[in-house]
Amino acid sequence: SPTTDSPAHSASTASTLITNIAALVTNDPSLGDGSPLGLIRDAALVIDGQRVAWTGERSKAPATDNRVDAGGRAVLPGFVDSHSHLVFAGDRTAEFNARMSGRPYSAGGIRTTVAATRAATDEELEANLTRYLREALRQGTTTFETKSGYGLTVEDEARALRIAARHTDEVTYLGAHIVSPDHAEDPAGPSEYVALVTGEMLDACAPYARWIDVFCEKGAFDGDQARAILTAGKARGLHPRIHANQLSHGPGVQLAVELDAASADHCTHLTDADVDALAHSRTVATLLPGAEFSTRAEWPDARRLLDAGVTVALSTDCNPGSSFTSSVPFCVALAVRDMRMTPDEAVWSATAGGARALRRDDIGRLAPGAYADLLLLDAPSHVHLAYRPGVPLVTGVWRRGVREV
Ligand code: NIG
Ligand code: FE
| Cα diameter, the chain | 72
Q: Tell me the CA–centroid distance for residue 73 and ligand 2, in Å.
A: 33
Q: Known binder of ligand: residue 237?
A: no
**Ligand 1, atom 7: closest residue by C-alpha:** 321
**Ligand 1, atom 9: closest residue by C-alpha:** 321
- Ligand 1: which atom is nearest the Cα of residue 88? 10
Q: What is the pLDDT of residue 37?
A: 98
**Ligand 1, atom 3: closest residue by C-alpha:** 215
pTM: 0.96
Q: Tell me the CA–centroid distance for residue 149 and ligand 1, in Å.
A: 9
pLDDT in tens, the chain (405 residues): 333 333 344 445 689 999 999 999 999 999 998 999 999 999 999 999 999 999 999 999 999 999 999 999 999 999 999 999 999 999 999 999 999 999 998 888 999 999 999 999 999 999 999 999 999 999 999 999 999 999 999 999 999 999 999 999 999 999 999 999 999 998 988 999 999 999 999 999 999 999 999 999 999 999 999 999 999 999 999 999 999 999 999 999 999 999 999 999 999 999 999 999 999 999 999 999 999 999 999 999 999 999 999 999 999 999 999 999 999 999 999 999 999 999 999 999 999 999 999 999 999 999 999 999 999 999 999 999 999 999 999 999 999 999 999
Q: What is the pLDDT of residue 13?
A: 66
Q: Known binder of ligand: residue 193?
A: no
* Domains along the sequence of the chain with CATH: 7-78+365-403 (2.30.40.10), 80-357 (3.20.20.140)
Q: Tell me the CA–centroid distance for residue 70 and ligand 2, in Å.
A: 36
Count of other CB atoms within 10 angstroms of residue 287: 31
Q: How far is CA 284 from its chain centroid?
A: 12
